[in-house]
Structure 1
Amino acid sequence: MSTVTVRYFAAARAAAGRSEETVPGAGCLDDLVEGLAGRHGDRLASVLAVASFLVDGTAWHDRRAPLPAGVTIDVLPPFAGG
C-alpha cells in the first residue's frame, strides 16, 4: 500500500500533536482530511477545515483530484499577520 507524508505547521502541528507523520495513501485530499480528522479528533478537524494544502510544494486546490503515491502534503493553517 502506498503512503504519503503529512507535515503540519503552526496550529495544525499543535492540534495534531506532532510535526509530521506518514499515513496510508488516500484517493484524494478530501479523503485524506477525513482520515486525519478521524485519527486526531475535532481540534485538528477544525484546523483542517480552514487550512491550505501543498502537495510536493504545489498549492492543491482541487480536493477531489487524485493524490499521487508517495507525495508530501503540507498542512498550512491560516496565519495571522500584522
Structure 2
Amino acid sequence: MNDAMTLSVRYFAGAAEAAGREAEEVALGPASTLGDLVAALGARGPALARVLAASSFLLDGVSARAEDRLEPGATLDVLPPFAGG
C-alpha cells in the first residue's frame, strides 16, 4: 500500500518564473503540512525559496497557513506579492 498523496500546485506571476513552470503535481507523505511542502519546494533553489517565503497560499481556494494539513487531490495556489494596486 502506498501512503503517498498527490496534490496540484499552481504558481502565479513571480512564483511561476522562479519555479520555471505554472503548475505541477507534487507527491508527499500522508501527514504532510503546507510547511512541509513549502520547505520541499524551497529546497529546489534560492530564487524559489525567496518567493515562497514572501508568498501567500490558497488551499482549495481558502487561505492556508504552514501548519495546515494537506489532503490528497488538493490544489495549492502560490501567490507572490503583486506590485501595483
TM-score under structure 2 length normalisation? 0.88
Q: Determine helix, strand or coil for the equivalent of 1:63.
A: coil
Q: Percent identity?
A: 52
Once superposed, which parts of structure 1, at least 4 consecutive aligned residues long, lie more than 4 Å away?
A: none
Pairing partner for 1:14 from 14, 17, 27: 17
| Alpha-carbon distance, 1:37 to partner | 1.1
Q: Is the contact between residue 5 and residue 71 of structure 2 (CA under 8 Å) also seen in structure 1?
A: no
Provide the C-alpha distance between the structure 1 equivalents of 2:60 and 2:35, rounded to a whole number of angstroms.
17
| Alpha-carbon distance, 1:64 to partner | 1.0
Query: What amino acid is aligned across from residue 81 of structure 2 in structure 1?
Result: P
Q: Determine helix, strand or coil for the equivalent of 2:84.
A: coil
Provide the C-alpha distance between the structure 2 equivalents of 1:65 and 1:76, rounded to a whole number of angstroms.
17
Q: Which has the larger radius of gyration?
A: 2
Structure whose residues are more often helix by fraction: 1
Query: What amino acid is aligned across from residue 61 of structure 2 in structure 1?
Result: G
Q: Is the contact between residue 8 and residue 75 of structure 1 (CA under 8 Å) also seen in structure 2?
A: yes
Query: What amino acid is aligned across from residue 64 of structure 1 in structure 2?
Result: E
Provide the C-alpha distance between the structure 1 equivalents of 2:20 and 2:10, rounded to a whole number of angstroms.
11
Flag structure 1 segments of 5+ consecutive residues without an equivalent.
Answer: none
Q: Determine helix, strand or coil for the equivalent of 2:36.
A: helix
RMSD: 1.1
TM-score under structure 1 length normalisation? 0.91
